[in-house]
Amino acid sequence: MGHTASMSTYDRETLLTGLAFPEAPRWHEGALWFSDIYAGQVHRFDPVTSTDEIVAEIARAPSGLGFLPDGRLLIATGTDKAVHVRGADGTLTPYADLSQVATGMVNDMLVDDRGRAYVGNYGDDSAPPAPPYPADLALIDVDGTVSVAATGLDFPNGMVLTKDRTTLIVAETRSTPGRLTAFTVADDGTLTERRTLAEFESTVFPDGIAIDDTDGVWVASPFEGAVLRVDQDGQITERIAVPGAFAVAIDTAAPALYVTASADWVPEKALADRTGRIDRIALG
């Protein structure tokens, strides 16, 4: 188990407020893209101009985002267990049906450089303290074929690829203890050599994750109210206090860490209270 780093002090500023439940942030071409799941919206936020644009509206719990090599946006949608693609004109069309793999709501997604997409799901509709139902991780190949990439994961959530693209790291949010699980990625996208990269203390339920230029994995720990950095030896090297942090993205050029956060994850309360926000932490 990684050692417990003390809280670090970084400058943190709130850039955007009034959201319901922002999740699945992606830094892409100078902007932060994210889903406001319960509001049924996907946003593109420009931190330089503070411009927040709604680029898609889809009332099926949009979550995981990713970009195809041609620039089109993929959106994983939870309630219909599917992935949709946004065309250049903003039109959304079906891209893949995951209902034969996903036993619970579809959640986060990673799209690799070739356009293959890995998509996780909740497993079932239970919540702690009930035990999780093991979920399968879906793989959507470039031709649209859907298969099972890995089985028996305890709520596969945030995912990243290492810099050399040979290792996929998955946050298992509801494993006991919470952990980051690593796989070797074959040339055809299949996953082998499953192993534990890091295990956490009982307060950490790893949610959204991002990876920096030195393969440090930044992990949102919502119920601890923190963001952690884990190195490739599974050691926690940084711990930053961020209330309600559910997911992270990195602009490595800045460098800066973007955090999607909310005071509550319960849909009705999150929609009513609108405490969702976007924070930025300067890492340089």
Averages of pLDDT over runs of 10 residues in the chain (284 residues) are: 65 96 98 98 97 96 98 97 96 97 97 98 88 95 97 98 98 96 97 98 95 98 96 96 97 96 92 96 90
Output the pLDDT for position 168.
Answer: 98
pTM of the model: 0.95
| Domains of the chain, each with CATH number or no CATH | 21-261 (2.120.10.30)
Q: What is the Cα–Cα distance from 66 to 108, expressed in whole angstroms?
A: 10
Q: What is the Cα–Cα distance from 5 to 246, expressed in whole angstroms?
A: 19
Q: What is the Cα–Cα distance from 217 to 196, expressed in whole angstroms?
A: 14
Output the pLDDT for position 10.
Answer: 85
Q: What is the Cα–Cα distance from 118 to 181, expressed in whole angstroms?
A: 14
- CA-based torsion, 125, 127, 132, 136: positive or negative: positive
Output the pLDDT for position 76.
Answer: 98
Output the pLDDT for position 4.
Answer: 61
Q: What is the Cα–Cα distance from 110 to 124, expressed in whole angstroms?
A: 21
The encoded tokens of residue 272 equal 């009513």
DSSP state of 131: P
The encoded tokens of residue 153 equal 């994961």
Output the pLDDT for position 132.
Answer: 87
The encoded tokens of residue 70 equal 């041609």
Q: What is the Cα–Cα distance from 150 to 26, expressed in whole angstroms?
A: 23
The encoded tokens of residue 51 equal 């411009």
Q: What is the Cα–Cα distance from 277 to 284, expressed in whole angstroms?
A: 22
Element housing 269 (H / E): helix 267-273
Q: What is the Cα–Cα distance from 75 to 112, expressed in whole angstroms?
A: 14
Angle at 20 between CA 154 and CA 100, to 5 degrees: 35
Q: Give SS3 for 18.
A: strand
* Residue 147 identity: S
Closest CA relative to residue 194, chosen from 207, 204, 180 = 180
Closest CA relative to residue 69, chosen from 29, 110, 113 = 113
